Amino acid sequence: MSEPAEDERTAAAAEPAAHGVTSDELMEVNAARALAGSRTCFVGIGLPSTAANLARATHEPDLVLIYESGTIGSRPTRLPLSIGDGELAETADAVVTVPEMFNYWLQGGRIDVGFLGAAQVDRFANVNTTVVSRGAGRPEARLPGAGGAPEIAANCRKVLLVLRHSRRGFVPALDFVTTMGHGSGPGDRAKYGMRGEGPAAVITDLGILRPDPATAELVLTETHPGVTVEQVRDATGWDLRVAPSVTTTAPPTEHELAALRALKAAGRKGRETS
């Protein structure tokens, strides 16, 4: 369920966007904002963890962070490298076993938001983190696999996805459906007996896509400052639908940006010294 190569990609994507803000920072700030009003979040490692911790550091100080390693209510002071960093347990309200986490807490339907990364997403916000085809005669490229994602997406009240925008990531057809988002359209989640409403937003470094309530197909609803609709359509592997009025996301506030950069600096420092 995680972004496998967070560190490397962050470095690559660090070119400044508008106002000295990188496109990754726009993604992360908007991903954090998407948690407004949520009480509990099942947090994937990598970008989702950055977003959830930023939300805690800014507008949702009481957000309960839940990591699949068994921690409930973690309050890390730095971004964890792995989902089982010691600080996640030491600062938690409760630590439970992994089976208890998946059965009582996730499957029990108690968690507001499942926040996931993805390698490939399709127009119905289904996710592939398993294998990617490299064409005829070549072996499939192996991704990490499902992790907790299929059941996180099925059992949380809603799902947020965060990943960088590219034609490699936003594909017309998944090579493998690891995690069902909206299936093949409206009604599919109900047909499969899934609890939550499914993916409510896909936050990228270019903007935000949301499912059309009527068709469940992802629609571009917001772009980040300085990003055009055409840029987003170019970076999407299918003919991306666009909302009648696409708005621009508010630029990061100084507080958001400072909090995000402090979290990341603490994470780097923590990783070097530990």
Partner 1 sequence: MAGVRSLHDAVADLVHDGDTVALEGFTHLIPFAAAHEIIRQGITDLTLARMTPDVIYDQLIGAGLVRKLIFSWGGNPGVGSLHRFRDAVENGWPRPLELDEHSHAGMANRYVAGASGLPFATLRGYRGSDLATRTDTVSTVTCPFTGEELAAVRALTPDVAIVHAQRADRAGNVQMWGLTGVQKEAVLASKRALVTVEEVVDALEPRPGAVVLPHWVLDAVSVVPGGAHPSYATGYSERDNAFYRAWDAIARDREAFTAWLDTEVKAAGATGTAEVSR
Footprint (CB under 8 A) of partner 1, residues 205-264 = none
User: Contacting partner 1 (CB under 8 A), which of 17, 38, 70, 114?
Assistant: 70
40 binds partner 1 (CB under 8 A): yes
Residue from 13, 176, 229, 266 binding partner 1 (CB under 8 A):
176
Edge-to-edge strand ranges of the sheet holding 71-72: 94-95, 71-72, 64-67, 40-43, 113-116, 158-162, 199-203, 207-211, 218-223, 241-248
CA pair distance 164, 178, nearest whole angstrom:
18
Nearer to partner 1, 85 or 222 (CB): 85
Q: Which is nearer to partner 1, 115 or 221 (CB)?
A: 115
Q: Which stretch in 6-14, 26-34, 51-59, 164-172 sits in contact with partner 1 by CB under 8 A?
A: 6-14
| Residue 39 interacts with partner 1 (CB under 8 A): yes or no | yes
Find the part of the chain contacting partner 1 (CB under 8 A) among 66-74, 205-213, 225-233, 249-257: 66-74
As a dihedral over the C-alpha atoms of residue 88, residue 93, residue 96, residue 102, rounded to 10 degrees, the angle is -80
Q: What's the half-sphere exposure (Cβ side, CA atoms, 13 Å) at 45?
A: 21
- For the CB of residue 244, give the shortest distance to partner 1 in the complex, in Å: 30
**Helix residue spans in the chain (DSSP H):** 6-12, 23-33, 47-57, 86-90, 98-100, 149-155, 188-191, 229-234, 254-273
Nearest-approach distance from CB 250 to partner 1, in angstroms: 29
Binding to partner 1 by CB under 8 A, coded x per residue (else -) over 149-168, reads: xxx--xx-------------
Q: Catalytic residue among 28, 68, 151, 217, which?
A: 68
- Residue 28 bears catalytic tag: no
CA torsion 104→106→107→110, rounded to 10°?
Answer: 80
Site string for partner 1, 128-147 (x = CB under 8 A): --x--------xxxx-xxxx
The alpha carbons of the chain give a radius of gyration, in whole angstroms, of: 18
Q: Which stretch binds partner 1 (CB under 8 A): 27-35, 87-95, 163-171, 239-247?
A: 87-95
Query: Given candidates 61, 193, 213, 244, which one binds partner 1 under the rule CB under 8 A?
Result: 193
Residue 97 in the binding site for partner 1 (CB under 8 A): yes
- Cα separation, 4 vs 225, in Å, equals 27
By DSSP bridging, strand 40-43 and strand 64-67 are parallel
Which of the residues are catalytic? 68
